[in-house]
């Protein structure tokens, strides 16, 4: 080690020795001071005991007569003496000694207690000090303390204090504050404007709704302390009748009686509802509570409701339907004028009477009894009923009955709408008679048509036979012109017979109303193609599967037969094509019969379905075939039309409803 380092260490050691001697000197000095202080403290305790002994007789009277807890402690918190109230409050035993009050303080309050004790030493008194303590019985209490310092020769030697248990008072105060806060919060957030006044008509509390209603440009807190009478005068201009507003307020304030539901009309169209409640304690007035609520919408709605009610009452009173309301026992509660007119009874004669005993024809009483039972079960229904009016006339009514409910949803009776359908029923009876007579006439007409057709065909056949006989008997005698004329006669006779047959078929459509059956049109058309005469140069094709429909088989066979034969008849091409197809629509099937024949000009499209109308005069065409087709299609709730161009071809299309 170098000499420099050795010198440094020696100097550091010397400084450390000097510091140690100095510290020992200070320690000896402090020890002497502490001993002297301890001697003085022992002397002070001796003097305090002497003083307390001297004062004991004087304090004994105080201890015995004071109601509140009273104790004396030394300056370190040790209890020196206490009365019975203090013993009970703090939970001490009578013979308990050597107790320090600081042990009752919560750790979180130690710092606050220390500051308060310093203030007590400095000022000599401590007032209204509140602290939560835990007693010797481990019970938490909130106490109120007033204390003072005890001096001897101007030197503080002890402290005395009066302690009050304010735990319950504090709890009550907290609950009161909570209640006040809740009340204040409720008032501030009410949907009504609120003003609370004191006995001098000064504002104590108000809310935002009040300032909004009266368009006051200030917060509720800024209105506290204002004179309500002056404020009312300023705000009176907001009302349609300011003088009446002020006079009414003065009258209310003078009588000091509760007022509810006052209505105030404002200049801006609003309607306010005002309530006034005086606050009285005993015989003394403690203030006033005013509330204001905007009821414009409610009043407008009420007026509209009353208007609507009157409107519907007028409608009910004057409508052509008899209205009756009954209770659960079928007793009439209310009727309108139409019901009175329908029955012939007066309102007084109807109210309270059981409807089922008064109106129904005897045979129909069972119907109304069943309907009454249904109403009680909550069912609604419409039904016909025969009734006797006051004059004894039988009338037919159409009744719509429904249960009547109260606000809780309980059935309390029924309501009936009654419509007199006597005239309609009479018309129905007449219609049934007419239909019966018409059916009879149709049957007679059908029989007559068969007889006439037979009677007409007989002479035709006779004429045809005579013509044939004349031709056979005079074959060598007749010239070519005569033979041709006889041939024309035969053709005409055949055409006339065909016409009679077609007329009979046309008149017979709809006469036989047998039940419809399911028909496989694919099979039907295939069978027709087999039996119909189809020339070799014409082909008939079914392009897709034909559906099953509901109809009359013979009549549908006539439809396809007539349309296919019609196409065969008017094909003028060397190679003829007839295509039959079907398409499924939303509620029906659409059939098409398409050919490449001579076609039909547009101006004739509407004429070809008319009876006796034929575009080509032929012995094979009577002009009734397409009319028969149209009639059969219509009978099956369908429609038929065509699309055609001359020299290109024709497509007949018709529809039939699907099977439901």
Question: What's the CA gap between 18 and 26, in Å, rounded?
Answer: 13
Model confidence pLDDT, tens digit, residues 180-218: 677 667 666 677 888 888 888 898 888 888 888 888 888
Model confidence pLDDT, tens digit, residues 562-576: 899 889 988 989 999
Q: What is the mean pLDDT of residues 155-160?
A: 89
Model confidence pLDDT, tens digit, residues 401-431: 999 998 888 999 998 888 888 888 888 888 8
3-state SS, one letter per residue, for 78-128? EEEEECHHHHHHHCCCCCCCCCEHHHHECHHHHHHHHHHHHHHHHHCEEEE
Task: Answer yes or no: is pLDDT of 591 > 90.
Answer: yes
Model confidence pLDDT, tens digit, residues 360-389: 888 888 888 888 888 888 899 999 989 898
Q: What is the pTM of this model?
A: 0.33
Two tokens, residue 303: 């007026």
Question: What's the CA gap between 421 and 429, in Å, rounded?
Answer: 12
Model confidence pLDDT, tens digit, residues 258-314: 888 888 888 888 888 888 888 877 777 778 888 888 888 888 777 777 777 677 667
Question: What's the CA gap between 119 and 243, in Å, rounded?
Answer: 63
Two tokens, residue 148: 């003072």
* pLDDT confidence tier of residue 255, bands split at 50, 70 and 90: confident
* pLDDT confidence tier of residue 582, bands split at 50, 70 and 90: very high
* pLDDT confidence tier of residue 456, bands split at 50, 70 and 90: low
Task: Answer yes or no: is pLDDT of 510 > 80.
Answer: no
Residue ranges of E strands in 282-407: 284-294, 322-327, 332-335, 381-388, 394-405
């Amino acid at each position: 080690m170098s000499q420099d380092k050795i010198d440094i260490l020696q100097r550091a050691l010397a400084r450390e020795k000097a510091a140690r001697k100095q510290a020992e000197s200070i320690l000896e000095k402090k020890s002497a001071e502490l001993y002297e202080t301890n001697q003085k403290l022992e002397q002070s305790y001796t003097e305090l005991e002497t003083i307390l002994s001297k004062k004991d007789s004087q304090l004994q009277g105080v201890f015995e007569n004071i109601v509140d807890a009273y104790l004396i402690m030394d300056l370190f918190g040790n209890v020196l003496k206490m009365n019975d109230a203090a013993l009970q409050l703090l939970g001490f035993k009578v013979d308990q000694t050597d107790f320090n009050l600081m042990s009752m303080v919560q750790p979180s309050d130690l710092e606050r207690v220390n500051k308060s004790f310093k203030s007590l030493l400095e000022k000599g008194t401590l007032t209204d000090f509140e602290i939560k303590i835990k007693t010797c019985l481990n019970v938490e209490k909130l106490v109120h303390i007033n204390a003072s310092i005890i001096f001897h020769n101007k030197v503080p030697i002890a402290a005395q204090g009066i302690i009050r248990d304010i735990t319950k008072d504090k709890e009550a105060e907290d609950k009161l504050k909570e209640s006040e806060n809740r009340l204040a919060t409720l008032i501030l957030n009410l949907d009504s404007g609120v003003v609370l006044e004191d006995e001098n008509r000064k504002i104590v509390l108000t809310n935002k709704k009040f300032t909004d209603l009266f368009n006051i440009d200030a917060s509720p807190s800024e209105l506290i302390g204002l004179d309500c009478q002056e404020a009312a005068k300023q705000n009176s201009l907001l009302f349609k009748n300011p003088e009446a507003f002020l006079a009414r307020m003065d009258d209310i304030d003078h009588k000091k009686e509760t007022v509810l539901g006052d209505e105030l009309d404002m200049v801006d169209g609003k309607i306010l509802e005002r309530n006034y409640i005086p606050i009285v304690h005993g015989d003394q007035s403690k203030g006033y509570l005013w509330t204001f609520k905007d009821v414009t919408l409610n009043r407008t709605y009420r007026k509209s409701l009353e208007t609507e009610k009157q409107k519907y009452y007028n409608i009910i009173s004057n409508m052509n339907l008899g209205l009756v309301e009954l209770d659960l026992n079928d007793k009439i509660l209310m009727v309108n004028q139409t019901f009175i007119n329908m029955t012939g009874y007066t309102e007084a004669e109807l109210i309270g009477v059981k409807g089922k005993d008064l109106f129904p024809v005897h045979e129909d009483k069972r119907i109304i009894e069943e309907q009454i039972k249904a109403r009680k079960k909550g069912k609604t229904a419409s039904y016909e009923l025969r009734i006797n009016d006051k004059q004894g006339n039988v009338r037919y009514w159409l009744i719509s009955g429904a249960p009547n409910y109260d606000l809780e949803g309980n059935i309390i009776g029924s309501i009936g709408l009654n419509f007199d359908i006597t005239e309609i029923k009479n018309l129905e009876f007449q219609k049934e008679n007419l239909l019966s007579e018409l059916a009879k006439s149709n049957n007679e007409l059908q029989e007559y048509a068969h007889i006439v057709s037979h009677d007409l065909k007989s002479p035709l056949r006779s004429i045809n036979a005579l013509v044939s006989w004349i031709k056979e008997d005079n074959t060598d005698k007749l010239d070519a012109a005569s033979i041709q004329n006889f041939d024309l006669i035969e053709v005409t006779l055949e055409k006339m017979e065909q016409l009679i047959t077609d007329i009979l078929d046309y008149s017979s459509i709809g006469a036989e109303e047998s039940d419809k059956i399911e028909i496989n049109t694919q099979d039907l058309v295939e069978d027709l193609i087999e039996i119909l005469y189809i020339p070799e140069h014409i082909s008939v094709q079914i392009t897709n599967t034909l559906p099953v429909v509901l109809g009359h088989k013979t009549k549908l066979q006539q439809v396809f037969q007539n349309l296919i034969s019609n196409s065969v008849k008017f094909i003028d091409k060397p190679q003829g094509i007839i295509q039959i197809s079907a398409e499924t629509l939303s509620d029906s099937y659409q059939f098409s019969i398409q050919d490449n024949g001579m076609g039909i000009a547009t101006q004739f499209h509407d004429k070809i379905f008319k009876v006796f109308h034929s575009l080509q005069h032929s012995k094979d065409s009577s002009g009734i075939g397409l009319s028969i087709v149209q009639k059969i299609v219509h009978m099956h709730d369908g429609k038929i039309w065509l699309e055609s161009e001359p020299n290109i071809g024709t497509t007949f299309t018709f529809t039939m409803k699907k099977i439901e």
